[in-house]
């Protein structure tokens, strides 16, 4: 079965093709490059199904193109059936990328307590237990937001950027900002891992997002990196819905 999985985030649109339960190709576009996105979607071959997730307003034109190329189409909402139990008190406010990521994480590690960390525009931390109960999580600013906030909300601090060569303690204003932002996020991530590992000794931690490689290479903890975690989760969700549809016949 061939499936299209589309993840529209804050910065990029990712379009994946899944075949027989596996992601076989992924193409990413800048969110602003609407023409290329629509051209690529229109050139896709006919498939069996498609699922679209967007953290912002739905793109009706992209949705129309994709829905015409498949026999079964799902736009992820708070009401869409999912293969885990969502215990979030306000499911209608939960980011679809966060939901898909925990579904993907539990699909990769069924029966495990899993901590899911997404380092992108924001840093999101989510937890799903070994019985498939999504218990919620936290949201804090990502790297670029932290840099931008220091510059925008002070009078004299310069705007810095991600830097692979940084010190824990800076010896200049520039190095102090870079070290403070990047070391601070590393300590934040490691602190979450330590806390949950103390509660759940069998904990599995999986990390995704645009800055995943930057952090995975610097965190002194056992972490699985999966840049396509949201897409994997979307594939699991639409498979779940297809099975529900088949069983209802």
Known catalytic residues are 97
Contact 38, 65 (CB under 8 A): yes
Per the CB < 8 A criterion, the answer to whether 53 and 100 are in contact is yes
**230 closest CA partner among 87, 105, 59, 86:** 105
| 113 vs 111: CA distance, rounded Å | 7
Q: Which helix (H) or strand (E) holds 29?
A: strand 22-30
- Give the distance from CA 54 to its chain's centroid: 11
- Beta-carbon contacts of 227 under 8 Å, excluding residues fewer than 6 positions away, are 208, 209, 212
Long-range contacts: 71-77, Cβ < 8 Å, 24+?
72/48, 72/238, 72/242, 72/245, 73/49, 74/49, 74/50, 74/237, 74/238, 74/241, 75/51, 76/51, 76/52, 76/100, 76/234, 76/237
């Amino acid at each position: 079965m061939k499936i299209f999985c589309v993840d529209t985030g804050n910065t990029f649109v990712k379009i994946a093709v899944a075949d027989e339960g596996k992601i076989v190709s992924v193409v990413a576009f800048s969110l602003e490059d609407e023409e290329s996105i629509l051209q690529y979607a229109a050139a896709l071959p006919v498939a069996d199904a498609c699922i679209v997730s967007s953290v912002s307003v739905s793109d009706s034109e992209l949705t129309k193109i994709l829905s015409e190329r498949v026999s079964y189409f799902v736009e992820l909402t708070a009401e869409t059936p999912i293969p885990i139990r969502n215990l979030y008190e306000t499911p209608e406010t939960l980011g679809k990328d966060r939901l898909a990521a925990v579904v993907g994480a539990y699909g990769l590690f069924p029966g495990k307590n899993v901590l899911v960390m997404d380092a992108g525009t924001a840093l999101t931390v989510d937890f799903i237990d070994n019985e498939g109960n999504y218990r919620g999580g936290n949201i804090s600013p990502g790297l670029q937001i932290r840099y931008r906030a220091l510059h925008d909300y002070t009078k004299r601090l310069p705007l810095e950027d991600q830097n692979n060569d940084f010190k824990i303690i800076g010896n200049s204003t520039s190095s102090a900002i870079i070290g403070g932002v990047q070391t601070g996020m590393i300590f934040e991530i490691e602190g979450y891992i330590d806390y949950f590992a103390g509660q759940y000794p069998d904990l599995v931690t999986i990390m995704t997002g645009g800055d995943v490689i930057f952090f995975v290479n610097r965190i002194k903890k056992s972490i699985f990196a999966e840049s396509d975690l949201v897409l994997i989760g979307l594939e699991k969700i639409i498979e779940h819905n297809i099975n529900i549809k088949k069983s209802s016949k």
